[in-house]
Structure 1
Amino acid sequence: MFLQSDNLFTARGRLAKNPVINISDSGNVVTTITLAQKTPFKTEKNEYKTVFIEYVAVDTKNSSTATRLAEFNTKGSLVTLEGYHDSFSKKGEYVQVNRISAFRNEEGKEKTEQRRNEQK
């Protein structure tokens, strides 16, 4: 039996691109983000390797996580995510998804844009 609590994760990183918003067949907002996350592994040049991991948030009757995630973040925003790993079979294909249940803005849209302008 699958229990959501068996597959929890916490992730922190910067959005590698702008959030992608879609509407599901049932009418829910679905937001997909890609986080750039540093690994503990280093390259030959002694720099930390970065991985790009995709995460998904879905609005429900009780939560507007997907809408808020897209509204308050942009490429480069620093966020901390909480969620769970989900897997299912879709048309005979095994699918694994990192589902976001909550997030915290460490650097929201306005602060990210301000930082970008200061770096120019």
Structure 2
Amino acid sequence: MFIATDNQFTARGRLVDSPQINISEKTGNAIVSITLAQEHPFKKNEAGERESVFIKYTAIDTKNNPIASRIAEYVTKGSLVSLIGYHDSYFKENSEGKKEYFEVKRISTFRNEESKEKTLERRTKA
């Protein structure tokens, strides 16, 4: 039996790009995919510094939770965010009629650790 808390994740990092809203043709819901740059917890490069990993996460607006729209509105490239979500999966049939399985890291909630304005200000000073 699937229980969302069994597959839960927490993540913290900076957005690699500004989020872009897409509209699902099937449901009409807003969908946002974001990529976070996160420090790898174990691997270090030759200089002894931690390397970054880039992980993709997805948010989908629902009737009770317009999370994708909120993410697009309140964060931008370089924003520091914390995410809570769960690992989800789905399948599609390919042209040969075989099932292809996909895994998605679905965002349930997010917290903006740095305002959009603060991020833009920091980026212009750099």
TM-score per shorter chain, which class? over 0.9
| One of 106, 121, 125 as aligned partner of 1:114 | 121
Q: Number of matched residues?
A: 119
- Is 58-67 or 41-50 further displaced after alignment? 41-50
Deviation readout 1:5-42 (Å, 9 max, x if unpaired): 11001100000111121111210000110000001210
Question: What are the ranges of 5 or more consecutive residues in structure 1 without an aligned counterpart?
Answer: none
* Cα distance in 2 for residues equivalent to 1:71 and 1:90: 31
- CA displacement at 1:4 relative to structure 2: 1.0
Equivalent residue letter for 2:109: A
- CA displacement at 1:89 relative to structure 2: 1.4
Question: What are the ranges of 5 or more consecutive residues in structure 2 without an aligned counterpart?
Answer: 94-98
Which residue of 2 is the match for residue 86 of structure 1?
88
Equivalent residue letter for 2:16: A
* Cα distance in 2 for residues equivalent to 1:34 and 1:108: 18
Identity %: 59
* Pairs within 5 Å for 1:23-62: 23-24=23-24, 25-40=26-41, 41-62=43-64
Equivalent residue letter for 2:46: E
TM-score with structure 1 setting the length: 0.95
CA RMSD of aligned residues (A): 0.9
Which residue of 1 is the match for residue 75 of structure 2?
73
Deviation readout 1:81-108 (Å, 9 max, x if unpaired): 0000001212211100000000000012
Tell me the SS of whatever aligns to 1:75.
Answer: coil
Structure 1 residue ranges, 4+ long, deviating more than 4 angstroms after superposition: none
- CA displacement at 1:64 relative to structure 2: 0.7
Tell me the SS of whatever aligns to 1:107.
Answer: coil
Q: Is the radius of gyration larger for structure 1 or structure 2?
A: 2
